[in-house]
Amino acid sequence: MGLGLLLKTENDGFTYVKETIQGFAASLQGTTMPNDCIIAVDGRSVEGWDLDAIKQLTFGEEGQPCQLTLRRGNETFTVNLVRIVPSQSQLD
């Protein structure tokens, strides 16, 4: 179970949120935005990691939390997301 994030790697070597997927934790909470730079997952720096390795850190069991450290512009902040299975109505 993921957080509902589509990620992309840019030429600067950092991984960014491409978009959030409707009905999943990131979209429902609304604190993670496209172009946010992912700095750390659950306190582990992911600078220089490949995209697949970062994605694996965001997967886990339903109901389990995941903490993302993000950078948006000059601001660095942390969001706490809980992995959920979206209902069909949330996906429509």
For residue range 21-53, list pLDDT tens digits in order.
999 999 999 999 999 999 999 999 999 999 999
Quote the pLDDT of residue 92. Answer: 56
Question: Within a 13 Å sphere around the CA of 65, how many CA atoms are in the beta-carbon half?
Answer: 7
Instruction: Tell me the percentage of the chain whose pLDDT exceeds 70.
Output: 95
CATH class of the domain whose range is 5-91: mainly beta
Looking at this protein, which amino acid is placed at residue 81? L
Q: What is the pTM of this model?
A: 0.88
Q: Exposure of 87 by Cβ count < 10 A (0-12 exposed, 13-18 middle, 19+ buried)? A: exposed
Can you give the residue ranges of every domain in the chain? 5-91
Q: What phi and psi, each to the nearest 5 degrees, are found at residue 4?
A: 85, 40
- 90, pLDDT greater than 60: no
Residue 67 CB coordination number (10 Å): 13
Is 88 strand, coil or helix?
A: helix
For every residue of 56-84, DSSP letters joined together read HHH---TT-EEEEEEEETTEEEEEEEE--
